[in-house]
Amino acid sequence: MVIPERQAKTVSEVRNVAIDFRGKLDDGELLTGSPTVTEVGTANLTISNQKVNTVALIIEGQSVDIGMAVQFKVLGGNAGTNYKIRISVVTTASPAQTLIEDVILRVIAD
């Protein structure tokens, strides 16, 4: 998926989410370290397994190389609610940059 993102899941689903950061990276720059992924404004979601991709991914039909996406797992939420999720990740630029992206997760009824 190309950011900005809009994701959806049902109340009972556990979903893996991958966010493509290629549009924010400079030439030759990669994501590095452990990204921070947090729910903004509520505490209804459980977010875990945050990481920079270590294998190439297909996101929205596009191949995303290693080090250019953030992945995480999300569960929970209330049906009919849009949740804002904020992703913060450091890059290999010199000096390092910190990229921040907000995505919307829509939770729908089962």
Percent of the chain with pLDDT over 70: 95
CA separation for the pair 15, 85 (Å, rounded): 14
For 17-27, what is the mean pLDDT? Answer: 94
For residue 33, count other CB atoms closer than 10 A to its CB. Answer: 13
* Tally of domains in the chain: 1
For 49-54, what is the mean pLDDT? Answer: 98
Domain containing 11 equals 6-108
Q: How confident is the model at residue 5 (pLDDT cuts 50, 70, 90)?
A: low
Examine residue 69 and state whether it is found in any structural domain, yes or no: yes
Examine residue 35 and state whether it is found in any structural domain, yes or no: yes
What CATH number is attached to the domain comprising 24? 2.60.40
Examine residue 1 and state whether it is found in any structural domain, yes or no: no
